[in-house]
Amino acid sequence: MIIEENVPLKNYTSYKTGGMAKYFVMCYNNDDLRQALDFAYSNKLDYEVIGGGSNLLVSDDGYNGLIICTAKLNRYIINYGNNIVKCGAGINLADLVYYTCSNGLSGMESMAGIPGSTGGAVKMNAGAYNQEIKDTNVKAALMDKNGSILIKTNEEIGYGYRLSSGTNGYIVLWAEFLYGRKEHEELLKTRKEILEKRKEKQPLHKPSCGSVFKRPERNYAGTLIEKCGLKGCRIGGAEVSLKHANFILNEDNAISSDIYNLILHIQKTVYDKTGIKLEPEVRMIGFKK
C-alpha cells in the first residue's frame, strides 16, 4: 500500500475536474484497505471512499484528508456454477455484464453501458431499463471503519431507488449474484441493442457523470429540465446537454464549480417553475454544505 500526497482527483473522476487530495491511496486487496483505514485513524484524518469516479463531483478545492480509491479492489470474477457469480468490488460493471451475457447468465443485460465499478453499483443500486442490482444480488461483503468484515444479505443491504441504506458507513469488498439462464447469443444481442440505444439517446462524446438527478416520483428529471427551457444552458465550461437534459457535460474545460453552480441553477429553476425539487444522483465531495 502506497500513500501518495497532493494527488489531482480530476484523474479519477469521469467529469475530469476536481482539486487535489491531500492524501490518496489505491487499494488492491482487503489488507490495503485495512492499512488505509488505520492510516486515517492514526493520523486523525477524515477520509472518503471512491470507486470508478463515474458518479462523482469533487470540489476545485480538493479534499483535505485521505481519499481511499477502490477502483482496483479485489479485481476477480468467480463463477461457482449453479448460476452464482462472485465479483470483486473493483471490477467494472460493464465487464461483469459482458461476462454474464457471454456465459448465458441473465439478469444484468439491460445494465449494459452503465459506467463505474461493481462496488459502486451495489452502493447506489445501479439500474436501467427495468433491471437493478438488487434483482440479482444475494449478498455482499462489507468492511467497517475498524477493518472488520461482515456479510449482509440482499434484505440487510436495504436496497431502494439509487441507494442501499445497509451499506452506509461500510466499504463494499465483493458481491455475490444469482442469475437466470438464457442462450448467450440472445443475451449478447440484448446487450448490443442496449448499448446502441444509449449511444442514440445519451451524449457520450464529452465527460459527464451520466444522469445528474434522480427520477422524481411519477416524472422524469430530463423531461422537467427540458420543459423549463434549460437544454443548452451553460455556466462556464459546463452545459446542459442538448441531447439529454439530465446530463451536464464538461463541454469546454469546465471546472467543478461550473458544474456545481449549474446543478444549483437547474434545481432552483425547476423548483420555481414546477414546485418539484430535483435530488442530485451525483455524489459530491469537498463542497461546503
The secondary structure of 136-177 as a DSSP string is TEEEEEEE-TTS-EEEEEHHHHTEETTEEGGGTT-EEEEEEE
Give the up-direction half-sphere exposure of residue 247: CA atoms within 13 A in the CB hemisphere.
21
Q: Is 235 helix (H, G, I), strand (E, B) or coil?
A: strand
- Cβ atoms within 10 A of the Cβ of 5, count? 9
- 198 is annotated as an active-site residue: no
- 281 is annotated as an active-site residue: yes
Phi first, then psi, for residue 274 (nearest 5°) are -125, -20
> Which DSSP category does 253 fall into?
S
Q: Of these residues, 211, 215, 239, 241, which one is catalytic?
A: 211
Separation between Cα atoms, residue 34 and residue 287, nearest integer Å: 27
Q: Of these residues, 34, 162, 198, 234, which one is catalytic?
A: 162
With beta carbons less than 8 A apart as the criterion, state whether 145 and 121 touch.
no
Separation between Cα atoms, residue 285 and residue 263, nearest integer Å: 14
CA gyration radius for the chain?
Answer: 19
Which residues, at least 6 apart from 163, have a Cβ–Cβ distance to it below 8 Å? 124, 125
Helix (H) or strand (E) segment spanning residue 284 = strand 283-285
Q: Is 221 helix (H, G, I), strand (E, B) or coil?
A: helix
- 193 is annotated as an active-site residue: no
End-to-end CA gap in the chain? 32
- Which of the residues are catalytic? 162, 211, 281
